[in-house]
Amino acid sequence: MTAVLSEIVNLLVGGIQGIATGIGQGLSTLAREMFTTYTESQGVYTITGLNVFGGLVVVFGGVSLAIALSRLIYLWVSSLGARH
């Protein structure tokens, strides 16, 4: 009985692991195709830089982060003399 239960657990976990591996590889390929320029040699991918879309994502992300941090700093500085 223990052996059968052990095999059932191994089948379930193995299936989940296979699905997770497939999803991870798919997301890795998607990110590599969308954001980077790369070369492939004997199955090894070498990232050479960001493509235009990847560069735009980085720039807009940086601008968004700068605006959010500036707003937080402004709110913090403006609250220094306030009475609560």
38-54 pLDDT per residue, tens: 888 888 888 888 899 99
Percentage of the chain exceeding pLDDT 70: 99
pTM of the model: 0.56
The span from the CA of 52 to the CA of 37, in Å, is 9
The span from the CA of 2 to the CA of 10, in Å, is 12
- Residue pair 44/32 in contact by the 8 Å Cβ criterion: no
The span from the CA of 2 to the CA of 42, in Å, is 45
What is the number of alpha carbons within 13 Å of residue 30 lying toward its C-beta?
Answer: 6
